[in-house]
Amino acid sequence: MTDYWKYVKPDPRGLEENPYINPPKAATLRTSTTPAPASRTPPGETTILNLDNFLKLENVKCTDSKGKVFEHYDALFVRKDIERDSNNPDNKTNQVNFTPYNATAHFESKGLFLPSFALSCNILAALYANKSDPEVAQVLMQYKNKGNGTGYHAQNTMVDWGAKKIIHYPNKDDYTSAGGNQVINSQKVRTPLAFDNSGFSNATLEAALRNPNYREFIQNLSGMQNPDLLVEIGVHFVKPAYSWISSSNEKRAAWLGC
């Protein structure tokens, strides 16, 4: 399976705590005749600053179904566009394809990393909360249409349906197929979260969240205490939010978007 990837990098001030990540080039605030709109997120939640080629998100947290934080960044830079072929100017056809494993290895080689499904959901929530900023809105809408008519973004997360575990930041040995020999995610925290799939089926997200087991699964997958917000984002995209379940007990990649 192939798809296109949005990637992220941390604030260089956090490198002392995470020496794995290469420092990004110094970013400067974009110049404009009008200032960027102030963040509309409540105090204590993720805020967004506009930079040249990145959006800087501050205070990004992913929590499990019990409210425990399992992924957190004081500051995170999110690229405003997906990976594209620089030799092809047509955004309908210039999106670079990867397998999940190859995408993870590719971005790590550039000092970046591919976000987990949970991190992407919290990035998506922050984009939605700040969509009054036109540049933020453009990034948000890539989850509906990246230029080729779809908004699917693969994530650094897989679901092991046999073992009944969500695995954020899987290692190379987690890939039983479509993997490789290169070590991946060695400086990320591999986070397995168990689930009970009783009553699971393909369903609208709104319906799935009414099932306690299903809701807990979605909370752990999305890293959100209130994944109902994803239903609201689906309404904004004019596409109902759905949850699709694998029909096998194999390990499967997680996908996010329209």
Output b/e per residue, 11-28; b: 16+ Cβ within 10 A: bbeeeeeeeebeebeebe
Which pLDDT does position 19 carry in this prediction?
Answer: 31
Average pLDDT, stretch 220-228?
A: 97
Enumerate the β-bridge partners of residue 173: none
Query: What's residue 46's pLDDT?
Result: 86
Q: Other C-beta atoms within 10 Å of 232: how many?
A: 14
Which of residues 180 and 249 earns the better pLDDT score?
Answer: 249
Report the pLDDT value the prediction gives residue 87, as an integer from 0 to 100. 84
Of 8-17, 92-101, 174-183, highest mean pLDDT? 174-183
**Residue 235 reports pLDDT greater than 60:** yes
Measured distance CA(231)–CA(124) in Å, rounded: 12
CB distance 205 to 218 below 8 Å: yes
Does the pLDDT at position 33 exceed 60? no
Q: Is the pLDDT of residue 42 over 80?
A: no
Residue 14: pLDDT band (50, 70, 90) is very low
Among 5-14, 52-61, 152-161, the range of highest mean pLDDT: 52-61
Q: And the tokens for 61? A: 């947290």
pLDDT on residue 254 = 83
pLDDT at 39: 38
What residues form DSSP beta bridges with 242? 204
pTM above 0.85, yes or no: no
Higher-confidence position of 37 and 253: 253
| pLDDT of amino acid 30 | 41
**Per-residue DSSP letters for the chain?**
--BB---EEE-GGGTTT-TTSPPPPPP-BPP-SSPPPPP-SPTTS-EEEEBSSEEEEEEEEEE-TTS-EEEEEEEEEEESS--B-TT---TTT-BPPB-HHHHHHHHHHTT-BPPPHHHHHHHHHHHHHTTTSHHHHHHHHTTT-SSSS---EEEEEEEETTTTEEEES--GGG-SSS--SS--STTS--EEEE---TT--SEEHHHHTTSHHHHHHHHHHHT-S-THHHHHHHHHTTS--EE---SSSSEEEEEE--
For residue 206, CA distances in Å to 64, 141, 144, 166, 227 come to: 19, 21, 19, 20, 9
Of residues 102 and 200, the one with the higher pLDDT is 200
